[in-house]
Structure 1
């Protein structure tokens, strides 16, 4: 789920450019060659956002809100007001209070009646370490063009880093509920940062972010009743990845899945004392573990060579008990967990080598069984990062317009 981030950002940017309803942005924009940059390459210092409300204490309340001078100096940043925020949220795993970081944006100019409508964007995999948060990158790890395209057409935008990325903590990789709560609370944080922001919002995400958008749809009504979610779009969502364990046991993980499996194991080992890394790694995988799980620094440059050495026998559970332990944690995080709060549109590829399409099909069926309103598009010849997003962006605008959503569950 890591290597497709910039590929998907480019594709999403292009898709935004061709949507007939008018969302547009240039398809030529810089993608940083490094995954993690400094907050400002221009040398300018961050300053607090004037009039940001730091008085709250509950989920979505602000710890801090500062300018993003590196982004502001870029062509994309000139089109919007931006802020890097640290805000309070909730762990989906145990319900405890957390502090997470992210980025929030509003368009320039006069807002419409009711304030700027909001798109909450869930990014794909960037890593599992604190430096892996996109808000710490001057170009948001390649997604600045997507944000600029949305703000340029009148949407406020939020993009959480997710718990443990960008701020201290352990990142619960593939815990979609936690990422979904972080997404919801980012909308609240936006409204505490800038004025004239609507309560109406939509969720949009790809891969790990697709799971976050799906989970946000489930959590929105009970968790944030003061906000009005109009719908969610989940692109190639990581809804249920417990099947990774069966494939690891059978030695049938794809190359993409082997790389993701190392992140799954490392994240779970940091989170749960009963997960022993050495139950799932040996040989070249064990020797290259730090390289395979890094998101920044010189280790990243060694990843292509380390990835080429991965072998099925080196990345599988040592015992059935170890497999059950890992499977149990992943199954507990799998979607769906609750009925949807609003309509959802799912787009996924039949040739996806990272998230097996059957896993997504089965998750959709369970969401339908819970009474969900779901429309889906299985693109049989597409993979994980090349699905066609154009209809998804039109779908979001239709929801804001109040048009009824198609329900394929029927």
Structure 2
């Protein structure tokens, strides 16, 4: 009964769209032709492949509603350096910039939306909620508030979908290199769309916090030309071994382990062979299903999924992965903290976060500090509420830090050129 209300809301949304004539054909093409890249697109990272006007569901005081924007298809790179098309959405600033200095561009790296193409954040920007009737799938635009907040301040905003969300191929969830590439090449694309050099800041929480942290580390070598001023990395999954262990212990979104496994299996066939012989046919079917779902679908259909239900011997997938050399090598390659950002980074984490462990976030910040990075670490002390339920303990700190206490003032100071040095922890 505890998810009855959520299922009712989903059913109503599906029924309403079906009544409006949006039917089974939506399942065959959940995102539309725009997301299919042409043959022979420009392979230079950050190139604009195509754009398409769209409306953005974001309330900006004094501006027309909805806000005009663009869907964007741009070029990035897979972990092996091969070119790949990535989608996103761009909203040019139209209000006077409320901060100091020239108008900046904020690149938003979304939190976990899912693995199906219909879960891409840009799919939901025009309505606030993407509904795929054929798949009975729903995906809200979780970044609508951030997009509206920065648009209201007069900034340009670019929202990336990451590699394989919306566009062809498997979304490589929490892949360090590919997440970083998607964010950095989104910044390059945004500068091209702005038509002039622009200072940049990165905004990300949870999966997005991992993506902005990875991008901050990789920027000096991958995109040194970017005028990056500051980065927010909120609750980043810096150590996937610790994160997987946490969410596999009875967490509302435990199914997100499947997103990670599907992405790693796609890029590492040797790992796929080892994983496949340790899971049951039902387990394989579950992974295949998760590859088509959004995080809202996971909450409604597979809440509190434990990987012990997927394996041939009833042991957890994290236990199995620790016994597979290929898996430990892949997980270690995703660790964030071995490189050094060259710009100031604000790192935030909830001490009672039940989804992204606090200790591994703090450890990442400490690694950076030990190597000379400029880091401000802020602990959110929101009390634990219904541990394992994700929503209060994981997303609560995002709302408090992102929009009440820390993040916007920090990034405004960096964009204004206010100096900050060294490391501070609280």
What secondary structure is seen at the aligned counterpart in 1 of 2:365? helix
2:261 paired with 1:274: no
Distance 1:318 1:207, change over 3 A: closer
Counterparts of 2:33 and 2:327, CA distance in 1: 44
What secondary structure is seen at the aligned counterpart in 2 of 1:68? strand
2:159 paired with 1:159: yes
Distance 1:130 1:395, change over 3 A: same
| 1:124 pairs with one of 96, 111, 115 | 111
Aligned to 1:408: 423
Q: Is the 8 A contact 1:210 1:238 kept in 2?
A: yes
Q: Is the 8 A contact 1:372 1:409 kept in 2?
A: no
Distance 1:367 1:109, change over 3 A: closer
What secondary structure is seen at the aligned counterpart in 2 of 1:193? helix
Q: 1:326: Cα distance to partner?
A: 2.2
Structure 2 residue runs of 5 or longer lacking an equivalent are 1-11, 23-31, 35-40, 129-139, 309-313, 384-392
Q: Is the 8 A contact 2:84 2:163 kept in 1?
A: yes
Q: Is the 8 A contact 1:105 1:156 kept in 2?
A: yes
Aligned to 1:96: 82
Counterparts of 1:309 and 1:242, CA distance in 2: 17
Counterparts of 2:324 and 2:252, CA distance in 1: 20
Aligned to 1:253: 249
Structure 1 residue runs of 5 or longer lacking an equivalent are 1-31, 49-54
What secondary structure is seen at the aligned counterpart in 2 of 1:121? strand
Distance 1:324 1:244, change over 3 A: farther
Give CA-to-partner distance per residue, 1:219-267, whole Å, 9 cap, x none. Answer: 223322332111101111122212246x38xx97342463222222222
Give CA-to-partner distance per residue, 1:354-406, whole Å, 9 cap, x none. Answer: 11111112211211122111110122435321112121111001111111225
Give CA-to-partner distance per residue, 1:245-291, whole Å, 9 cap, x none. Answer: 6x38xx97342463222222222122211123435544975564444
Counterparts of 2:285 and 2:315, CA distance in 1: 10
| 1:136 pairs with one of 108, 123, 132 | 123
Aligned to 2:339: 338
Normalising by structure 1, report the TM-score. 0.76
Q: 1:78: Cα distance to partner?
A: 2.8
Aligned to 2:180: 180
Q: 1:116: Cα distance to partner?
A: 2.3
Q: Is the 8 A contact 2:239 2:360 kept in 1?
A: yes
How many residues matched? 355
Counterparts of 2:203 and 2:178, CA distance in 1: 16
What secondary structure is seen at the aligned counterpart in 1 of 2:149? helix
Q: 1:305: Cα distance to partner?
A: 4.5
Give CA-to-partner distance per residue, 1:108-143, whole Å, 9 cap, x none. Answer: 256799752111111001112333211122246322
Give CA-to-partner distance per residue, 1:130-159, whole Å, 9 cap, x none. Answer: 332111222463222321221121111111
Counterparts of 1:155 and 1:132, CA distance in 2: 25
Give CA-to-partner distance per residue, 1:317-363, whole Å, 9 cap, x none. Answer: 57576444323212101102421120001010111111111111221
Aligned to 1:22: none
2:213 paired with 1:214: yes
Aligned to 1:386: 396
340-349 or 277-286: which moved more? Answer: 277-286
Distance 1:331 1:33, change over 3 A: farther
Normalising by structure 2, report the TM-score. 0.73
Q: 1:103: Cα distance to partner?
A: 0.8
Q: Is the 8 A contact 1:164 1:171 kept in 2?
A: yes
